[in-house]
Structures are given as structure tokens and as C-alpha cells.
């Protein structure tokens, strides 16, 4: 039996991948994987041996919420400090290997939309559609700022821009599964597009390919 189709959406921090990917999934009735949440969960769970933490994560995604060891951690997962720590841990090959099977298990019928940094290059190299979503550094810092403030978190725009830049550089420079477009990815710059426009573009590309 042919495996379920995958739409891979990769890109730098705050490029809008999460919002776009979850809406595309909803429109198609597909499953949704936010792979960054797994790296954030390893960071949040802590421990001296991140690869062991990754292998043993007790995590559940349910009703748009994330549970770690049966506790609702949806909000604490989103802090910028956890994002930075996640990106440090994500450079470890053993952590990435420990999370691979968990990510691939999301591939179920009728299909999956997965967002992250290496969905198209490493985790789902045979994805039906690969999108590399970018946006200018200013647009991304603004978006993340708004996201944090809207959720009641504290945020400082200048510090946030610096953190995002540092995190993207680390993600792009690492040896294992660096942030980069797959050779067969379609690049979309979302700086001047609304979320709906990006979603429509992705759906159109997907339909053309199927």
C-alpha cells in the first residue's frame, strides 16, 4: 500500500510555518506535525542527557494542547528561552536520531502536513510537496513579538530580533540536518503575503502535483 502523502513546510523561526501548516492540514483534513515542539519538549524536560530525555519523552498532542508527563505545557513551550535551548539541543545528532521515529509515526492516512527545519531534507525526503517558507528578518521579529504579547508573555522586540538571528544562524550552520531548502523545494517569501494567501498558494501547488 502506498504511504500517506506528506506536505513538508520548512523555514527559519517565525516565518509563519506553524500557522500555515496547521491551516493547510485543516483544509485538507490531514494530520499535523509541529516538529519544533518535540525539540522544545526535550529542552523543557531538561536532564543532563538530552538524547535520553528525547528517547523517553512522555508526550501527547491532544485538542491543540501539548502534554508532557501528563501535564499541560502548551504555554511554557512557547517561551523564547525554550526556543533558544531547543536550538542548542537540536545540534546533537543523537537527539535528532531519537526523535526521528516519533516524527515519522505521524505519517498516517489521509495525509500529513509537517513543519520544521528538516522535514523535506531528512524526515520526509519523499514528501509530495516541499515548501521553504521565508520572510524578512524584520517581518519575522514583528510576528514573533505579536505572538508572544498576544499570549500574555513578556517580550522585547530588539532582544527578540537578536535571538531569532542567532538561532537561525546556529540552525543553518550545524552539521546535522541544517536549516536549508531541499533541492526540490518551492520557496515562498511570506513577508508581504497574508496567511490566507500563503495557504492558498501551498494548496494550489499541492493540487497541481497530485
Q: Does 85 bind ligand C5P (CB under 6 A)?
A: no
Task: From residue 43, give the alpha-carbon distance in Å to each of 47, 59, 62, 89, 179.
Answer: 9, 13, 20, 7, 19
Residues in 48-67 that interact with ligand C5P by CB under 6 A: none
Among 39, 106, 124, 132, binds ligand C5P (CB under 6 A): 39
Q: Does 13 bind ligand C5P (CB under 6 A)?
A: yes
Among 116, 124, 127, 202, binds ligand C5P (CB under 6 A): 116
Task: From residue 155, give the alpha-carbon distance in Å to each of 33, 85, 149, 205, 208.
Answer: 26, 17, 7, 36, 41
Q: Does 40 bind ligand C5P (CB under 6 A)?
A: yes
Residues in 170-199 that interact with ligand C5P by CB under 6 A: 171
Q: How far apart are CA 16 and CA 190, in angstroms?
A: 8
CA dihedral 168, 174, 180, 182 (to 10 degrees): -150
**Which pairs from 101-106 meet CB under 8 Å and 24+ separation?**
102/38, 102/57, 103/33, 103/35, 103/38, 106/31, 106/33
Q: Which is nearer to ligand C5P, 54 or 199 (CB)?
A: 54
Q: Which is nearer to ligand C5P, 174 or 201 (CB)?
A: 174
Task: From residue 51, give the alpha-carbon distance in Å to each of 66, 77, 83, 190.
Answer: 20, 18, 17, 34
Q: Does 87 bind ligand C5P (CB under 6 A)?
A: yes
Q: Does 118 bind ligand C5P (CB under 6 A)?
A: yes
Which stretch in 21-29, 58-66, 105-113, 116-124 sits in contact with ligand C5P by CB under 6 A?
116-124
Q: Which is nearer to ligand C5P, 1 or 153 (CB)?
A: 153
Q: Interface mask (CB under 6 A) for ligand C5P, residues 150-169, using x and -?
A: -----------------x--
Write down the residue that cell numbers 491532544 correspond to.
62
Q: How far apart are CA 43 and CA 65, in angstroms?
A: 17
Least distance between ligand C5P and beta carbon 37 (Å) = 6
What does the binding site for ligand C5P look like in residue numbers (CB under 6 A)?
13, 35-36, 39-40, 83, 86-87, 90, 116-118, 167, 171
Amino acid at each position: 500500500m502506498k504511504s500517506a502523502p506528506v506536505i513538508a513546510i520548512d523555514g527559519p523561526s517565525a516565518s509563519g510555518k506553524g500557522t500555515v501548516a496547521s491551516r493547510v492540514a485543516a483544509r485538507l483534513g490531514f494530520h499535523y506535525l509541529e516538529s519544533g515542539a518535540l525539540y522544545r519538549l526535550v529542552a523543557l524536560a531538561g536532564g543532563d542527557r538530552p538524547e535520553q530525555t528525547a528517547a523517553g519523552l512522555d508526550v501527547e498532542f491532544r485538542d491543540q494542547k501539548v502534554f508532557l508527563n501528563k501535564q499541560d505545557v502548551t504555554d511554557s513551550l512557547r517561551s523564547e528561552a525554550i526556543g533558544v535551548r531547543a536550538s542548542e539541543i537540536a545540534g546533537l545528532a543523537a537527539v535528532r536520531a531519537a526523535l526521528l521515529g516519533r516524527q515519522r509515526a505521524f505519517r498516517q492516512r489521509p495525509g500529513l502536513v509537517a513543519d520544521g527545519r528538516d522535514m523535506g531534507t531528512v524526515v520526509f525526503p519523499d514528501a509530495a510537496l516541499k515548501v521553504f517558507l521565508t520572510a524578512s528578518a524584520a517581518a519575522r521579529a514583528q510576528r514573533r513579538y505579536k505572538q508572544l504579547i498576544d499570549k500574555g508573555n513578556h517580550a522585547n522586540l530588539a532582544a527578540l530580533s537578536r535571538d531569532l538571528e542567532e538561532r537561525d544562524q546556529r540552525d543553518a550552520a550545524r552539521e546535522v540536518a541544517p536549516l536549508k531548502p531541499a533541492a526540490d523545494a518551492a520557496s515562498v517569501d511570506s513577508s508581504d503575503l497574508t496567511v490566507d494567501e500563503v495557504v492558498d498558494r501551498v494548496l494550489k501547488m499541492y493540487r497541481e502535483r497530485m
